[in-house]
Amino acid sequence: VSGSSDVLIVGAGVIGCMVALEAVNRGLTVTVIEKDAPGRGATWASAGMISPFGGHQRSPTLTALANASIDLWPEHARRLETQTEIDVQYRTDGAVHIALDASAAALLADLAGQGVAQLLTPAEARALEPAINTEVRAGAFVARDHRVNTRRLGMALWSACVAAGVTIQLGEQPAQLVQKRGRFHAVRLSSGGEIAAGSLVIAAGAWSAAIPGLPRMIPVRPVRGQMFSVDAGSPLIHHNVLGAGIYLVPRERAHILVGATVENVGFAPGPTAAGIAELAAAARKVVPRVADLPIIETWAGYRPGTPDDLPILGGDPDVEGVFYATGHYRNGILLAPITAQVIVELLSGGRPAVAIDSFSIERFASHEQSAAT
């Protein structure tokens, strides 16, 4: 395999594929290399919530990025459906958060105080979601909490990439990066070929740190997440429902996804009996009937985690032409559209419309130093 393009992207998950499509839209030629199967990494495992507090954390810079991305989602979903005729099941019904104890209720009041959620009495929460636990202490409704079916999304993105003329190298991975005069020049593939490109985008999810020859250490590590799905027979919940440290996401045909564990176990294979048992116990507290429903599937995936739970976006400070679009942790589906926009703006030599300084890989320089001393 040999060739050349304006942009070479490593990884065909939601991030790599969205960057590829956005780049093609801007008139760039794109090659994507994928070691495995497109859309089968974290993207496939994901619950697909597009939520303003994705990852349940409170970083103002992340909230700004998330909000910009939520605004871009409807257009992305529409365009993908028109281009591929795959319905990605983008839904905007919102989320119902429930609190089963006083400290959880205080957190919901806090969310409402920030203006992102509307507090609900237990009766109001049960009016929206009749199947929730009768002992609910308080609830909150978040209208700007959306969702997408990420397995369909992965397929749709891939098929849109193919249709848009993206050059695709499946079963390939970088063996070496070739620089010329401090600038990225090409990638040598493990199969022996070489692909020259103007720019390189690292979008390899939880595996990003393992790419050989990168200009610096990327502090991305896998964070395993387990999930299971049940068949409710007829629709049981109508929104994303969050509580007791877990979430339930409604899917077509009355299926419900339950997730997710957050485990620092490297790439240890899953799911495990303990992980699924933990989720099932929590799900029973939120929507008791879930415990009696037949399980359809259990699975696990690896989120690309970073030391501060924030993504890594932007160019390498030392080697021109190397860009990072990784470390999206619990928010990769949420953040994919804005990531694609930001990265392609940088690839085109422009300035992103949203501030990305706090997501620069340079923020980890002091970590590396302290680790070395």
Cis peptide bond N-terminal to 311, omega within 30: no
For 100-115, letters b (16+ CB in 10 Å) and e give: beeebbeebeebbeee
Smallest distance, ligand FAD to C-beta of residue 73, A? 11
Contact between 203 and ligand FAD (CB under 6 A)?
Answer: yes
Smallest distance, ligand FAD to C-beta of residue 29, A? 19
Contact between 328 and ligand FAD (CB under 6 A)?
Answer: yes
In this structure, what token pair is assigned to residue 173? 């991975």
Q: Pick the stretch among 102-110, 266-274, 282-290, 299-307 that binds ligand FAD (CB under 6 A).
A: 299-307
Contact between 205 and ligand FAD (CB under 6 A)?
Answer: yes
Nearer to ligand FAD, 80 or 138 (CB): 80
What is the rounded distance in angstroms from the CA atom of residue 236 to the CA atom of residue 369? 52
Contact between 186 and ligand FAD (CB under 6 A)?
Answer: no
Contact between 167 and ligand FAD (CB under 6 A)?
Answer: no
Nearer to ligand FAD, 273 or 372 (CB): 273
Q: Where would I find the H helices in 32-186?
A: 42-45, 60-84, 102-113, 122-128, 150-163
What is the rounded distance in angstroms from the CA atom of residue 153 to the CA atom of residue 243? 26
Instruction: For the chain, give the number of residues.
Output: 373
**Cβ contact 12:32 at 8 Å:** yes
Contact between 36 and ligand FAD (CB under 6 A)?
Answer: yes
Nearer to ligand FAD, 204 or 293 (CB): 204
Q: Pick the stretch among 27-35, 104-112, 274-282, 341-349 that binds ligand FAD (CB under 6 A).
A: 27-35
Contact between 331 and ligand FAD (CB under 6 A)?
Answer: yes
Beta-carbon contacts of residue 155 (< 8 Å; ≥ 6 apart): 39, 84, 86
**Cβ contact 322:10 at 8 Å:** no
Contact between 338 and ligand FAD (CB under 6 A)?
Answer: no
Rounded to 10°, the helix 332-347/14-25 angle is 40
Contact between 259 and ligand FAD (CB under 6 A)?
Answer: yes
Smallest distance, ligand FAD to C-beta of residue 373, A? 30
Residues that bind ligand FAD (CB under 6 A): 10-16, 33-36, 40-43, 45-49, 54, 173-174, 203-207, 211, 225, 227, 259-260, 301, 303-304, 326, 328-334
